Every structure is written in structure tokens, then in C-alpha cells.
């Protein structure tokens, strides 16, 4: 995976779209220019079994149409069964080095990290990128830790400059720039796109905000 693919990293499960068809929301997000997608099927009413496999296949097919990596959260079997491009795991989802051995080097491995020690461990386990947060307050993860601001991105970036980081937690178009300025390659969002009245437009605006922050002065409005 290249760093540019982390710029606007959309995360969604079937329960995140405020009653709208999740595949329609994903299609809009892709049209708007998200650069990566993670299927994160969690919480009450989460799909399981065949409905989950069908939904995952639908997400994968849409991502393929747009040439966007399709990543599965925390479900190695589903990731392998759907031919996902990658797997993302949290600190509680198993041993990252062991998972890397099981998926091999061709699959992307993302790991959530909340401090520099977790970043170091994820790096030596073979993570391709880190998700670090919550940067701002979030309502999308009931068990999220307290918001940390951009500090933890700054410190992980200075310790491991080559390891790509995406910030997560409460990020929107109007607060994305500090996350990039702290050293992140991109931003991960659920609600900024999945809850937006117009997900395509929200994705486009977020992409523009990230581009401007990555290359100040180079992007025409």
C-alpha cells in the first residue's frame, strides 16, 4: 500500500449509516474520492454469517471498481474469504506478529495504537500502517479512550518517521488539517462521511482538506 491510499480512509459497518443503504453510502463515498475503505461490522445488530459475507462481497466489489483498497476489521476469516486487500486489528484483537505470519506479506496489515510503545510493537510485528486515536471526541466507538489531541501522532511520527499513520476519532473536514500537520498520512473517519447528508460531498471536501494540508499552497481551491 502506498501512503497516498491512506489520505481519506473511510470506515463503515451496516449500522453506521443512519438507516440508509450502506452500499449506497459507500458508493457515494467512493465517488467523492475516499482512498481506502475498512469494513467494520460491530455493535448491536451487526451482520453475521451469510448476510455478512454477502455485504462484505458487495463492499469489496465497489472498492474494486474504484481501485480502492478493501480492508476488513478484526475478522481474519472474513478477510481471507472475501479476498480483502488487508486486515485491520486493534490491541485486543490478537497478536499482530502472529497475524502477520498467518496473512503473509501480500496482505496489508493495519494496527490501532494509542501510544509510542504500542506503535513500536506494531512496527516490529510488521504493521503497514498505524491507526492512532481518538484524536478528538468520538461517538462512534462506545469504548473509545479519552481524546488525545494530535500529540500522540507527533510523538509516534518523530519516533518512527517511516511508518505511515492515520489519525482517527472525531475527524471532520474542518479539523483534519492539524492531524496531517502532526505527521499523519491521512485521516480515518466514520461519521464525517457515513452520517453526512451528502456522503459524496463530505468525502470530496475531506479529500480537499487533506490534500491542502499535505501540500500547502499547491492545491487550487
Interface positions with ligand 3NM (CB under 6 A): 11, 112, 133-134, 138, 140-141, 144, 168-171, 189-192
57 and 82 Cβ atoms separated by less than 8 Å: yes
40 assigned to active site: yes
Q: Is 73 annotated as a binding residue?
A: yes
68 and 34 Cβ atoms separated by less than 8 Å: yes
- Residue of 40, 100, 123, 207 marked active site: 40
Instruction: Using alpha carbons, select from 109, 32, 113 the residue that is nearest to residue 74.
Output: 109
* Residue 187 CB, nearest approach to ligand 3NM (Å): 9
Q: Coil, strand or helix: which one is 76? A: helix
Give the span between the Cα atoms of 176 and 162, in whole angstroms.
Answer: 21
- Residue of 28, 60, 100, 112 marked active site: 112
- Residue of 3, 141, 201, 211 marked active site: 141
Cβ-Cβ contacts under 8 Å for 7 (sequence gap 6 or more): 35, 36, 185, 186, 187, 207, 210, 211, 214
Which lies closer to ligand 3NM via its Cβ, residue 50 or residue 199?
199
Q: Is 139 annotated as a binding residue?
A: yes
* Residue 83 CB, nearest approach to ligand 3NM (Å): 23
Q: Is 157 annotated as a binding residue?
A: no
Q: Is 197 annotated as a binding residue?
A: no
For helices 22-32 and 49-66, the axis angle rounded to 10 degrees is: 20
Residues in the annotated binding site: 38-42, 73-74, 93, 112, 138-141, 170, 190-191
Residues in the annotated binding site for Mg(2+): 74, 93
Catalytic residues: 40, 112, 141
Amino acid at each position: 500500500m502506498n501512503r497516498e491510499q491512506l489520505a481519506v480512509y473511510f470506515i463503515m459497518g451496516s449500522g453506521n449509516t443512519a438507516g440508509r443503504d450502506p452500499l449506497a453510502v459507500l458508493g457515494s463515498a467512493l465517488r467523492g474520492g475516499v482512498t481506502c475503505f475498512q469494513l467494520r461490522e460491530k455493535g448491536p445488530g451487526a451482520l453475521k454469517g451469510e448476510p455478512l459475507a454477502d455485504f462484505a462481497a458487495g463492499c469489496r466489489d465497489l472498492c474494486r471498481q474504484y481501485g480502492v483498497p478493501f480492508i476488513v476489521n478484526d475478522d481474519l476469516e472474513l478477510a481471507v474469504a472475501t479476498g480483502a486487500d488487508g486486515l485491520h486489528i486493534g490491541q485486543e484483537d490478537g497478536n499482530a506478529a502472529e497475524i502477520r505470519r498467518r496473512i503473509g506479506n501480500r496482505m496489508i496489515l493495519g494496527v490501532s495504537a494509542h501510544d509510542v510503545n504500542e506503535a513500536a510493537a506494531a512496527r516490529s510485528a510488521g504493521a503497514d500502517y498505524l491507526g492512532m486515536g481518538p484524536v478528538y471526541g468520538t461517538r462512534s466507538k462506545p469504548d473509545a479512550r479519552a481524546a488525545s489531541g494530535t500529540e500522540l501522532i507527533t510523538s509516534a511520527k518523530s519516533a518512527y518517521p517511516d511508518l505511515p499513520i492515520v489519525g482517527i476519532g472525531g475527524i471532520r473536514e474542518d479539523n483534519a488539517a492539524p492531524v496531517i500537520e502532526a505527521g499523519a498520512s491521512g485521516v480515518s473517519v466514520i461519521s464525517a462521511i457515513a452520517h453526512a447528508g451528502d456522503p459524496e460531498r463530505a468525502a470530496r471536501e475531506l479529500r480537499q482538506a487533506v490534500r491542502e494540508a499535505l501540500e500547502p499552497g499547491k492545491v487550487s481551491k
